[in-house]
Amino acid sequence: MRKRLRRTLAEVLSKDLSKVYNSFDIVGDIAIIKLPPNATENEAQIIAKTIMGIHKNVKTILRQTSPVAGDFRLRRLIHVAGENKTSTIHREFGCLFMVDLAKCYFSPRLSHERMRIATLVEPNEAVVNMFAGVGCFSIIIAKHSKATKVFSIDVNAAAVQLMQENVRLNRVYDKVIPLLGDAQEIIKSRLQQVADRVLMPLPEKALTYLPYAISALKASGGWIHYYDFEHATKTENPAEKTRRKIVSTLDSLGINFEVPFVRVVRSTGPNWFQLAADIHIT
Ligand SMILES: C[S@@+](CC[C@H](N)C(=O)[O-])C[C@H]1O[C@@H](n2cnc3c(N)ncnc32)[C@H](O)[C@@H]1O
């Protein structure tokens, strides 16, 4: 599909703009495109028509006009073509996620990572997801592992409301527990030493919230899935940079730990990477 889109766009657009085939996401029946700021409305319409002509399931095209930002990790979106809406249902590994792209964060690019974590979860584990959004990591874990509970925190009320809908849609009522509030506060007041595994899918806050993730783990220890953004030039290794950051923070806290796995999840810009690290607190 991407090849066909690339060919078609190359025929009708300048070289710069035709690169959009690389940078659009499809969430449910909505496509989100990113264009250079100088792209005209006419060019946006041509791209929208081309995408809708090739991806017949796409009913709406939105143009992202700002980076993901703020505590809720939202982006500005402008309607370009098709139905004027920001809500949709996205399907991933047999799970359904109701999302509203104007009110909460969602990225289909993390689907492989969500499944990777679900396959690590062992029977009867209790999991805390500190930054759960509409519940995608939590629901994939609930559906694809034998975890007993996945406590799923988010500070955005709209995301937690959608998470509750998604718990119903996927029938994981007794497993995924949506909790509204700041992860630090909720862990301090309600989730001390309860978890075998803690997820921290918010690179911007992961380092400062690491002590709270540790306090959510059982006294016997457990796993922390830590996410990071890292800048690395061609001669640097982003995974090593993230590992060093984790090691120096945990050493300063006097914690016994290992970091057996760090990987680049995706590239987020020139020389910028998103990384996932599995930390074993022993
Ligand atoms: C990058 S999103 C990840 C969402 C989800 N895990 C996913 O993969 O789609 C980070 C989420 O953390 C939430 N968040 C930000 N600060 C928070 C805090 N202090 N406590 C709890 N949630 C927070 C945001 O509202 C957002 O939904």
Torsion sign, CA atoms 227, 232, 238, 243: negative
Closest ligand 1 atom, CA of 159?
27
Closest residue by CA, ligand 1 atom 6: 132
C-alpha dihedral, 9 to 11 to 16 to 21, nearest 10°: 20
pLDDT band at 67 (very low <50, low <70, confident <90, very high): very high
Percent of the chain with pLDDT over 90: 84
For residue 137, how far is its CA from the centre of ligand 1 (angstroms)?
A: 11
Pocket mutation for ligand 1, best pick of 68, 131, 138, 191 (most atoms within 8 Å of C-beta): 131
| Mean pLDDT of all residues belonging to the chain | 94
Q: Is the pLDDT of residue 22 over 70?
A: no
pLDDT digits (tens, 9 = 90+) for 237-249: 999 999 999 999 9
Q: Is the pLDDT of residue 179 over 90?
A: yes
Mean pLDDT of 73-84: 97
For residue 192, how far is its CA from the centre of ligand 1 (angstroms)?
A: 20
Which domains are seen in the chain, by residue range? 2-85 (3.30.300.110), 104-281 (3.40.50.150)
Q: Both tokens of residue 256?
A: 């016994």
What type of residue sits at position 8?
T
Helix/strand/coil (H, E, C) string of the chain?
Answer: CHHHHHHHHHHHCCHHHHHHHHCCEEECCEEEECCCCCCCHHHHHHHHHHHHHHCCCCCEEEEECCCCECCCCECCEEEEEECCCCEEEEEECCEEEEEECCCCCCCHHHHHHHHHHHHHCCCCCEEEECCCCCCHHHHHHHHHCCCCEEEEEECCHHHHHHHHHHHHHCCCCCCEEEEECCHHHHHHHHCCCCECEEEECCHHHHHHHHHHHHHHECCCCEEEEEEEEEECCCCCCHHHHHHHHHHHHHHHCCCCEEEEEEEEEEEEECCEEEEEEEEEEC
Predicted local distance difference test score (pLDDT) of residue 97: 98
Phi, psi values for residue 48, rounded to 5°? -60, -50
For residue 1, how far is its CA from the centre of ligand 1 (angstroms)?
A: 31
pLDDT digits (tens, 9 = 90+) for 141-165: 999 999 999 999 999 999 999 999 9
Predicted local distance difference test score (pLDDT) of residue 112: 96
Alpha carbons within 13 angstroms on the beta-carbon side of residue 207 total 14
Ligand 1 pocket at CB < 6 A: 71-73, 104-106, 110, 131-133, 136-137, 153-156, 159, 182-183, 201-202, 205
What type of residue sits at position 6?
R
Q: Both tokens of residue 47?
A: 């791209």
Of residues 2 and 86, the one with the higher pLDDT is: 86
Predicted local distance difference test score (pLDDT) of residue 269: 86
pLDDT band at 21 (very low <50, low <70, confident <90, very high): low
Predicted local distance difference test score (pLDDT) of residue 18: 56
For residue 133, how far is its CA from the centre of ligand 1 (angstroms)?
A: 5
Q: Both tokens of residue 149?
A: 């509970």
**Residue 127 near residue 196 (C-beta atoms within 8 A):** yes
Predicted local distance difference test score (pLDDT) of residue 7: 75
Beta strands 30-33 and 60-64 are parallel
Q: Both tokens of residue 73?
A: 């990790």
C-alpha 179/C-alpha 203 separation (Å) is: 20
Percent of the chain with pLDDT over 70: 95
Q: Is the pLDDT of residue 187 over 60?
A: yes
pLDDT digits (tens, 9 = 90+) for 190-246: 999 999 999 999 999 999 999 999 999 999 999 999 999 999 999 999 999 999 999
Closest residue by CA, ligand 1 atom 15: 71
Predicted local distance difference test score (pLDDT) of residue 16: 63
pLDDT digits (tens, 9 = 90+) for 85-111: 999 999 999 999 999 999 999 999 999
Predicted local distance difference test score (pLDDT) of residue 17: 64
**Residue 98 near residue 169 (C-beta atoms within 8 A):** yes
Predicted local distance difference test score (pLDDT) of residue 99: 98
